[in-house]
Amino acid sequence: MKNQDVADIFERMGTLLEIKGEIVFKTRAYYKAAETIAGLPEDIETLRKENRLTGIPGIGQALAEKISQYLDTGRMQAYEELIKEVPEGLLDVVHVPSIGPKKAKLFFDQLKVKSVADLREAVDAGKLSGLPGIQEKTVENIRRGLKIVREGQERMNLGAATQVADEFVAALKKLPEVKEIAAAGSLRRGRETVRDIDILINSVNPQRVMDVFVRLPQVKSVNAHGETRSSVLTRNNVQVDIRVVEPKSFGAALLYFTGSKDFNIKLRQIAIKKEMKVSEYGVFSVKGGRERMLAGKTEAGCFKALGLPYVPPEMREDFGEEEYFARERFPALVELKDIQGDLHVHSTWSDGHNTIAQMAEAARAKGYKYLAVSDHSPRLRVAGGVSPEDLKKKKKEIDALNAKMKDFHILFGAEVEIDSDGNLDYNNAVLSEFDFLIAAIHSGFEQSSEQLTKRLVKVCQNKYVHTIAHPTGVHLGKRGPYHFDFSEVCKAAVDNNVCLEINAFPVRLDLNGANVYHARKHGVKFVIDTDAHRVEHMDYMKFGVTTARRGWLTKGDVLNTLSYPELTKAMKK
């Protein structure tokens, strides 16, 4: 299907025309067309064949001709003419956080900035200051935006990394020579972003494994092809390294290559105190100058030989291990199977792709007991926020579905906008109707730390609110967290029985592991939600659980591990 390709090119044209200074009416037509085509249930090539392109809402004769031309030739003349006037590189400039079409145009006109690299140069050379409307603070924001872009290029999010690793692992697992296989590194620790993929294999025939690996179809180029180690670049420029080790050392190697570096240092220090040595080959006793292997086959065996409890990979960072080691028994971390429901998903009532019934069916298929359908409120117009009148209809639809289902409950929810003063987007009469209420900030990130803190604290004090969605506002590769006093908000959340969300959507992962660890110390309770906008997104729950584990959460810390009756009780203020 070429639907997405056509949508992308129209989206780009809209942006380029906006930079060019074209009238809003014209740019909007392209954006609208892009959105419609991306969401078409039918193949655009079929529509073309059957002469039905102009039947698509918002597609007139002129746009239909452009689509046909693109489908026939793979090119669009109007687009190619446009990029002669407005360089394509400006599309990347526009997407640098805090830039947008107006500033991109200004920098292009005044400084001939045609790419992100040009922009970086202009910022470093101090050329931005003095331009109309550009203050010192603007430059500072742009500088920060450029940093986020760079990080986004160097590191992928956990979701993207998992997908790459899963493909390689699945392909190599098929080989009879492969006895055990696991992704190690920061991916195994569940870090929010990952630089490259490390895969570890237990096999007695490394050469065969290497030969297959470097020839896999997803490989673009081979950096190294050795006897027990190889390194490749995928078509999306992700570096994937594999390493084959002997069975007797597989556990030790997995421990070593999972890291983190700081965690490994800590283990080595502990080993030295006990007259032991730990390396990628095993755990050894070095008593009396004689080296004797104690463990190496399994990770668990290595920890045991060192006299330590097993540390889950997500906890192997340089914070708080002493607390963990000192305890006789550490409560088990929360697991995916503990999750009883998803409390933040969208439906066709706002910007979701699937109906409430479809979302509920998918949730039931996962073994969940409940689902809160939390569509946007009216202020978020781009996301089709639900009006108070439509809420009545939505509630009726949910009641009807609930009446038909046994052992499953759909909660009438909302993701309500927090305005710049910390007020919510519906009045109290409307708010009191919801079973589950999520409050969220989607705009006004630029406020001062005091203002943002006040805003969030005020929301915690609102008696209708159950949780705060994506509490720091981070958007990986796009936007950093907004500035506020996190401890202050944690305290307000605890005082008012409000949960903080761990948003499992891969570009968010907000709160992140470090935030969760910190908030837990304040006594905060959490919900782990996917923020699914379509059925498949509900699979992101695993990333949220990983993030919770990185913050040391147990089942008891997470609201949506409760049964339905327990949940309704816990939600009471």
Residue 322 has a CB neighbour count (10 Å cut-off) of: 9
- The piece of 206-214, 229-237, 396-404, 415-423 that touches Zn ion (CB under 5 A) is 415-423
Cβ proximity of 491 and 510 under 8 Å: no
Residue with tokens 């954006």: 31
Among 314, 415, 510, 557, interactor with Zn ion by CB under 5 A: 415
Q: Fill in the per-residue mask, 359 to 398: x = in contact with Zn ion (CB under 5 A), - = not in contact.
A: ----------------------------------------
Cβ closest to Zn ion, residue 264 vs residue 374: 374
Cβ closest to Zn ion, residue 303 vs residue 434: 434
The footprint of Zn ion on this chain (CB under 5 A) covers a number of residues equal to 3
Q: Give the shortest CB-540-to-Zn ion separation in angstroms.
A: 12
Closest C-alpha to 417, from 447, 437, 395: 437
Q: Give the shortest CB-41-to-Zn ion separation in angstroms.
A: 23
Closest C-alpha to 299, from 327, 265, 267: 267
Q: Across-strand partners of 202?
A: 180, 245
DSSP at 2: -
- The piece of 2-10, 146-154, 284-292, 531-539 that touches Zn ion (CB under 5 A) is 531-539
State residue 387 phi and psi, 5-degree precision: -75, 155
- The piece of 179-187, 416-424, 433-441, 444-452 that touches Zn ion (CB under 5 A) is 433-441
Q: Give the shortest CB-548-to-Zn ion separation in angstroms.
A: 18
Cβ closest to Zn ion, residue 188 vs residue 537: 537
DSSP at 69: H
Cβ closest to Zn ion, residue 22 vs residue 415: 415
Q: Give the shortest CB-531-to-Zn ion separation in angstroms.
A: 4
- The piece of 258-266, 394-402, 409-417, 448-456 that touches Zn ion (CB under 5 A) is 409-417
Q: Give the shortest CB-373-to-Zn ion separation in angstroms.
A: 11
Tokens of 154: 């160097």
Cβ closest to Zn ion, residue 187 vs residue 440: 440
Rounded to the nearest angstrom, the gap between the alpha carbon of residue 74 and the centroid of all alpha carbons in its chain is 32
Among 511, 531, 560, 571, interactor with Zn ion by CB under 5 A: 531
Rounded to the nearest angstrom, the gap between the alpha carbon of residue 224 and the centroid of all alpha carbons in its chain is 31
Q: Give the shortest CB-124-to-Zn ion separation in angstroms.
A: 35
- The piece of 24-32, 187-195, 392-400, 523-531 that touches Zn ion (CB under 5 A) is 523-531
Hey, what amino acid is at 213?
A: F
Residue with tokens 């203050």: 135
Q: Give the shortest CB-186-to-Zn ion separation in angstroms.
A: 26
Cβ proximity of 164 and 206 under 8 Å: no
| Cα distance between residue 92 and residue 107, in whole Å | 13
Closest C-alpha to 480, from 192, 97, 193, 137: 97
Which residues lie closer than 8 Å to 403 by C-beta, 6 or more apart?
none
Cβ proximity of 481 and 472 under 8 Å: yes
| Cα distance between residue 121 and residue 91, in whole Å | 17
Q: Give the shortest CB-438-to-Zn ion separation in angstroms.
A: 7
Residue 547 has a CB neighbour count (10 Å cut-off) of: 29
Q: Give the shortest CB-442-to-Zn ion separation in angstroms.
A: 6
Cβ closest to Zn ion, residue 196 vs residue 415: 415
Among 440, 459, 465, 538, interactor with Zn ion by CB under 5 A: 440
| Cα distance between residue 386 and residue 390, in whole Å | 6
Cβ closest to Zn ion, residue 11 vs residue 531: 531
Cβ closest to Zn ion, residue 240 vs residue 416: 416
| Cα distance between residue 511 and residue 481, in whole Å | 10
Cβ proximity of 337 and 551 under 8 Å: no
Q: Give the shortest CB-346-to-Zn ion separation in angstroms.
A: 6
Q: Give the shortest CB-469-to-Zn ion separation in angstroms.
A: 5
Strand order in the sheet with 229-234: 180-183, 197-202, 239-245, 229-234, 219-225
Cβ closest to Zn ion, residue 10 vs residue 370: 370
| Cα distance between residue 66 and residue 26, in whole Å | 15
- The piece of 72-80, 84-92, 179-187, 435-443 that touches Zn ion (CB under 5 A) is 435-443
Of 79-118, which residues contact Zn ion (CB under 5 A)?
none
Cβ closest to Zn ion, residue 159 vs residue 251: 159
Tokens of 454: 């006040």
Cβ closest to Zn ion, residue 18 vs residue 375: 375
Q: Across-strand partners of 234?
A: 219
| Total residue length of the chain | 573
Cβ closest to Zn ion, residue 6 vs residue 411: 411
142 scored as a contact of Zn ion (CB under 5 A): no
- The piece of 106-114, 283-291, 364-372, 434-442 that touches Zn ion (CB under 5 A) is 434-442
- H helix count then E strand count, the chain: 24, 17
Interface residues toward Zn ion, by CB under 5 A: 415, 440, 531
